[in-house]
Structure 1
């Protein structure tokens, strides 16, 4: 099943800056071969349900391997069966087209 997820890994029990931990998660995601887009408070990732969930698990494992004692993750997952596969760019494009009509009016 095609899945788009937005997730935010939160390393806990470490320093205030978690950039190094997030960079390691991004390395894990890049190695997965899945389509992704990092943003300021998380990452969107797209692919097969099992592959997306596996990558999120691997992010947890990687952060723990760096010595982080606790990891919390906020996750939102979306799937559709009423349309052909819609990717991350398609979802954004639809909203941008609506806004462009507003500006043209």
Structure 2
């Protein structure tokens, strides 16, 4: 089997990631204070994002999206959270520019019968 030169493989230029960050080993069942801090971080990042009941959708350049999710981990670790777990679903496409909002609008258009 031939070796792969990973230095030549690029990441996609854009992505849309849905993530659910879970601080573990905390004193309360409520994670709202932690999520509020993550939302503040996302706002400061300048990336497009939208919080929903079970996570957050963030979109933008692949490296920036992954970096801000990593920064969320780092921020909580710096504040004493020993373990942080995150589930992430990431989508990318190269045939057209797509946003989280445009994906929802596409389904809503079908539902409205247009």
TM-score normalised by the chain length of structure 2: 0.85
How many equivalent residue pairs? 101
C-alpha distance in 2, partners of 1:65/1:81?
36
Identify the residue that residue 44 of structure 1 maps to in structure 2.
57
C-alpha distance in 2, partners of 1:67/1:24?
14
C-alpha distance in 2, partners of 1:2/1:85?
8
Kindly indicate whether the alpha-carbon contact (under 8 Å) linking 1:21 and 1:66 is maintained by their aligned counterparts in 2. no
C-alpha distance in 2, partners of 1:86/1:100?
20
The residue correspondences of 1:15-94 to structure 2 (distance < 5 A) are 15-82=28-95, 84-94=96-106
Which has more radius of gyration? 2
Q: Over residues 14-48 of structure 1, what are the superposed CA-to-partner deviations in whole Å (9 max), with x where a residue is unaligned?
A: 02111111111111111000000000110000000
Of 13-22 and 49-58, the range deviating more from structure 2: 13-22
> How much has 1:67 moved relative to structure 2?
1.3
Runs of 4+ in structure 1 deviating by more than 2 angstroms, as ranges, are none
Q: CA RMSD in A?
A: 1.0
Residue ranges of structure 2 left out of the alignment (5+ in a row): 1-12
C-alpha distance in 2, partners of 1:17/1:81?
39
> How much has 1:62 moved relative to structure 2?
1.0
C-alpha distance in 2, partners of 1:92/1:16?
31
Confirm or deny that 1:97 pairs with 2:93.
Answer: no
